[in-house]
């Protein structure tokens, strides 16, 4: 079991809701609380019981937060585990993403998983997607997440095909800050870093999501065989089933950046026109072939060096998130004052939810 799962609960605050949401909300009165989630005139926030002024809290039993407090808007994504929907909180009019993971496992294990998710995903970092609550609902776990109106980097990449280096450096800086937080503050290995788990918004924010999910699933005997995600970004040591640590996330980061830069997943099947025969062929290639690199004729020496500091088959040769923050690639385009907000919204205007 991941030690981070036992981390103390954190006091967190959301940025204030937008004016419209706030004015609607102010017509309501009262405060209600469910677990670590507190809703009152200041919006919604996760709180530690220790930090709550008793005068502002109504006991959980007095006014339970439930899925019924959220209104369905539309489906915004589908993964292997389930569906992600845009929902709106009825009191505050704030938008959230509701992720539902179908799990055909017994009630007690599901309850345990939701509890772990709640603790693992309480987050104080602007570079990771906030998980507000986890519920049981009809044999599924429902997670209320911060809504990222730009979708995932995978969605974005489908449109732009390639991301130029200066933008990639700005994106990478935020991902490294998120990874630094997960690794050094929360002691969590993400284990499933990939373009669809990096979410973006109209403010130019890039945030890591779905950390802890694979930890929880892997640590639950009933769910041990439920991994149906992609092996594409998995480090060689993890594929081989050996011990793996924080640096396996760094491998994944390197592959993600290389794919964003070149527009293609860095490994090609032995017969490219036929694609991968099966997942074992892909896994064998990652373990047996030399690590991929950025073509030096197309990219700066700094970018090529950065990739090679991440994509090393020997995890000891990879740099840590902290060390990568100081790599020259990260600051080489600082003078350009890159505006990710304009870049993201020009390509993909946000839906009219804000
Ligand atoms: P897999 O199931 O293999 O991990 P995935 O990461 O694409 O794949 P999900 O995590 O279920 O699967 O996400 C599906 C899609 O839903 C994402 O690609 C993204 O477009 C969208 N999405 C997920 N979470 C959010 C969120 N918090 N805000 C906005 N969109 C989201
Ligand atoms: Mg995901």
> 215: helix, coil or strand?
helix
For residue 320, give the CATH number of its domain.
1.10.510.10
| 342: its two tokens | 């304009």
Residue nearest to atom 13 of ligand 1 (CA): 79
Give the span between the Cα atoms of 278 and 282, in whole angstroms.
7
Regarding whether 203 and 91 lie in a shared domain, the answer is no
Regarding whether 314 and 179 lie in a shared domain, the answer is yes
Regarding whether 134 and 69 lie in a shared domain, the answer is yes
Residue 71, strand partner residues: 88
Evaluate whether 38 touches 47 at the Cβ level (below 8 Å): yes
| pLDDT at residue 36 tops 90 | no
Listed residues 95, 113, 146: the one ending a domain: 146
Regarding whether 206 and 61 lie in a shared domain, the answer is no
Question: In whole numbers, what is the pLDDT of the chain averaged over residues?
Answer: 78
Q: Span 312-316, mean pLDDT?
A: 97
Give the span between the Cα atoms of 144 and 21, in whole angstroms.
18
Give the span between the Cα atoms of 56 and 183, in whole angstroms.
34
Is residue 106 domain-resident?
Answer: yes
Regarding whether 169 and 139 lie in a shared domain, the answer is no
CA dihedral defined by 307, 230, 218, 255, rounded to 10 degrees? 0
Q: What is the pTM of this model?
A: 0.81
Is residue 214 domain-resident?
Answer: yes
Regarding whether 122 and 73 lie in a shared domain, the answer is yes
For residue 59, give the CATH number of its domain.
3.30.200.20
For 144-187, what is each residue's pLDDT tens digit? 899 999 999 999 999 999 999 999 999 999 999 999 999 998 88
- Which residues surround ligand 1 with Cβ inside 6 Å? 76-81, 84, 97, 99, 129, 145-148, 151-152, 154-155, 196-197, 199, 209-210, 229-230
Regarding whether 324 and 181 lie in a shared domain, the answer is yes
Which ligand 1 atom minimizes the distance to the CA of 210?
10
Q: Which of 6-20, 138-152, 248-262, 264-278 has the lowest mean pLDDT?
A: 6-20
Q: Which domain holds residue 43?
A: 3-146
| pLDDT at residue 320 tops 50 | yes
| pLDDT at residue 54 tops 60 | no
Nearest Cα to 88, choosing from 148, 147, 150? 147
118 or 260, which is more confident: 260
Give the span between the Cα atoms of 35 and 126, in whole angstroms.
22
Regarding whether 178 and 104 lie in a shared domain, the answer is no
Listed residues 130, 146, 162: the one ending a domain: 146
Regarding whether 157 and 42 lie in a shared domain, the answer is no
Nearest Cα to 135, choosing from 145, 125, 149, 148? 145
Widest Cα–Cα separation across the chain: 67
Task: Report DSSP letters for 102-161, one per residue.
Answer: E--S-HHHHHHHHHHHHHHT----TTB--EEEEEEETTEEEEEEE--TT-BHHHHHHHHS
User: Which listed residue (69, 149, 192, 210) is catalytic?
Assistant: 192
| pLDDT at residue 112 tops 60 | yes
Evaluate whether 261 touches 299 at the Cβ level (below 8 Å): yes
Q: Output phi, psi for 154, to 5 deg.
A: -65, -45
Regarding whether 167 and 305 lie in a shared domain, the answer is yes
| pLDDT at residue 228 tops 70 | no
Regarding whether 164 and 22 lie in a shared domain, the answer is no
Residue nearest to atom 27 of ligand 1 (CA): 147
Regarding whether 118 and 190 lie in a shared domain, the answer is no
| pLDDT at residue 236 tops 80 | yes
């Amino acid at each position: 079991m991941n030690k981070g799962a036992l981390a103390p609960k954190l006091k967190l605050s959301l940025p204030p809701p937008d004016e419209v949401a706030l004015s609607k909300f102010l017509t309501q009165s009262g405060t209600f609380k469910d677990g670590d989630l507190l809703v009152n005139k200041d919006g919604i926030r996760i709180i530690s019981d220790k930090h709550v002024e008793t005068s502002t809290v109504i006991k959980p039993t007095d006014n339970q937060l439930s899925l019924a407090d959220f209104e369905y808007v539309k489906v915004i994504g589908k993964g292997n585990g389930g569906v992600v929907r845009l929902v709106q909180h009825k009191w505050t009019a704030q938008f959230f993403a509701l992720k539902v993971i179908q799990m055909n496992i017994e009630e007690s294990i599901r309850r345990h998983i939701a509890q772990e998710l709640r603790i693992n995903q309480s987050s104080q970092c602007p570079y990771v997607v906030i998980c507000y609550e986890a519920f049981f609902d009809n044999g599924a776990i429902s997670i209320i997440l911060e809504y990222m109106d730009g979708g995932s980097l995978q969605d974005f990449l489908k449109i732009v095909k390639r991301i130029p280096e200066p933008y990639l450096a700005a994106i990478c800086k935020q991902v490294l800050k998120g990874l630094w937080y997960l690794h050094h503050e929360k002691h969590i290995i993400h284990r499933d870093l990939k373009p669809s788990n990096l979410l973006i918004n109209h403010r130019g924010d890039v945030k890591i999501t779905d950390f802890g999910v694979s930890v929880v699933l892997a640590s639950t005997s009933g769910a041990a065989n439920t991994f149906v995600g992609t092996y594409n970004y998995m480090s060689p040591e993890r594929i081989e089933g050996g011990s793996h640590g924080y640096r396996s996330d760094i491998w994944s980061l390197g592959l993600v950046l290389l794919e964003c830069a070149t527009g293609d997943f860095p490994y090609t099947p032995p017969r490219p026109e036929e694609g991968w025969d099966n997942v074992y062929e892909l896994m064998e290639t990652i373990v047996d072939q030399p690590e991929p690199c950025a073509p030096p004729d197309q990219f700066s020496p700094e970018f090529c060096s950065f990739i090679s500091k991440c994509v090393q088959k020997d995890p000891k040769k990879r740099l840590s998130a902290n060390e990568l923050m100081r790599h020259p690639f990260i600051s080489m385009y600082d003078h350009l004052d890159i505006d990710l907000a304009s870049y993201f919204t020009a390509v993909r205007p946000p839906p009219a939810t804000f």
